[in-house]
Amino acid sequence: MKDVIIIGAGPCGLSAAIECQHQGLSSLIIEKNFIVHSIYLYPTNMQFFSTTALLEIGNVPFTSPNDKPFRHEALVYYRRAAEQHGLEIAAYEEALSVQPLEDGTFAVHTRNKRGEAHTRTAANIVISTGYFDQPNLIGIPGEELPKVTHYFGEAHPYTGMKVTVIGGSNSAVDAALELVRVGAEVDMVYRGASISENIKPWVRPIFESMVLKEKIILHVESRVTEITPGSVIITSHSGDVTELDNDFVLALTGFRPSRTLLSSAGVSMDDSQDKPAFNPSTMESNVPGLYIAGVIASGRNANEVFIETGRGHGQLIADHIVSKRLAK
């Protein structure tokens, strides 16, 4: 039996494992995909908003020639941090449920990529599962068509195509700019009066220039109401309807965390915000010995928690586990 099982090998899960290790606690990370899978899903050429110092975990320096690193640099860094600390990671093994046992410990029921079922036990559980598995669906006709995706990797496949980008966040703006560079015809549809105020400051003037030059056609106070094999239907807040020729749709409308594991273990949820109950000073949920770390601690607004803040959850958790042991 491990002292701690951490579910999720994102930056916050890795940080939690390292902090537990520093406190002399044995740990195992269970990850249904592979290390920092969420960052792997970021656009290929994405540059972080944060500096390297704010992304560091486990006192491992994150060096980069760029003040704000790129996705590929982060993948290398987190692999190196995990290797340097010798973290035990069960990759390609999905945690299906967390079962509190009568003696106060936990059983985690899993299945690996070969379809083999396992039951792993631990005195404490940390759930750090991120949010990239569940895109926020729009719920409109045609959203299920193969030309629609909620993930953007890189622009090359869309060269010369008519592409509609839905959203007004950093991910939507970055995608639109990359699409312009490969010669795509870009329409961008956003329900707000203007794009998000949180757009990277060094990106905003470039985007606004592309809109002024009509390289990007921006439809604000509008929404896509239907997608067909050859078009998208846009409806403005005033009720005007426009049909655009279209080859592909990037519905970059964000993601939400999965609550399945939390619910299986009996963690209470705030129905209004879909937010788990936990003590912010310890990260312990209402189930004693079960902790949460990273973006899973946020509500429906996944932007409440980032790597910069979530990486600190591990120390709170490790400190609390050790303090409970000393109090016995």
The pTM for the full model equals 0.86
Q: Beta-carbon neighbour count of residue 210 at 10 Å?
A: 20
256-290 pLDDT, tens digit each: 777 788 888 999 987 655 688 899 999 999 999 99
- The structural domains of the chain, with segments of one domain joined by +, span 2-133+255-327, 148-251
226 with 232: CB under 8 angstroms?
yes
- What is the CA angle 315-303-84, rounded to 5? 40
Query: Domain 2-133+255-327 is classified in which CATH homologous superfamily?
Result: FAD/NAD(P)-binding domain (3.50.50.60)
Give the Cβ contact number of residue 142 at 10 Å: 18
Strand blocks (E) in 180-306: 185-189, 216-219, 222-228, 231-236, 241-245, 248-251, 269-270, 275-276, 290-292
**Helix 11-22 with 71-84: angle, nearest 10 deg:** 20
pLDDT at residue number 148 = 97
Place 231 in a pLDDT band, splitting at 50, 70 and 90: very high
Q: How confident is the model at residue 198 (pLDDT cuts 50, 70, 90)?
A: confident
Does this chain's domain 2-133+255-327 share its CATH topology with 148-251? Answer: yes
For residue 295, what pLDDT band results from cuts at 50, 70 and 90?
A: confident
User: What is the pLDDT, as a whole number, of residue 325?
Assistant: 85
Phi and psi at 47, nearest 5°, equal -110, 135
Over 70: is that where the pLDDT of 209 sits? yes
Strands (E), the chain: 2-7, 27-31, 89-91, 93-100, 106-112, 117-127, 148-149, 162-166, 185-189, 216-219, 222-228, 231-236, 241-245, 248-251, 269-270, 275-276, 290-292
State in Å, rounded, how far the first CA of the chain is from the last one: 19
pLDDT at 133 over 80: no
Report how far Cα 145 is from the mean position of its chain's Cα atoms.
24
Report the pLDDT value the prediction gives residue 69, as an integer from 0 to 100: 94
**97-114 residue pLDDT tens:** 999 999 999 999 999 999
**Which has the closest alpha carbon to 13: 25, 31, 26?**
31
Q: Does domain 148-251 have CATH number 3.50.50.60?
A: yes
pLDDT digits over 11-41, tens only? 999 999 999 999 999 999 999 999 999 899 8
Contact partners, residue 95, CB within 8 Å, separation at least 6: 7, 30, 32, 108, 109, 110, 261
Could you read off the pLDDT of 145-164 as tens digits, one per residue? 999 999 999 999 999 999 99
User: Closest Cα partner for 27 from 128, 126, 129, 130?
Assistant: 126
More reliable by pLDDT, 319 or 327: 319
**How far apart, in Å, are the Cα atoms of 168 and each of 83, 164, 202, 254, 258?**
37, 12, 16, 10, 23
pLDDT at 302 over 60: no
> What are the DSSP calls for 46-79, one per residue?
-B-SS-GGGG--TT-----SSSS-BHHHHHHHHH
Question: What band does 300 get if pLDDT is binned at 50, 70 and 90?
Answer: low
- The string of pLDDT tens digits covering residues 52-97 is 998 999 999 999 998 889 999 999 999 999 999 999 999 999 999 9
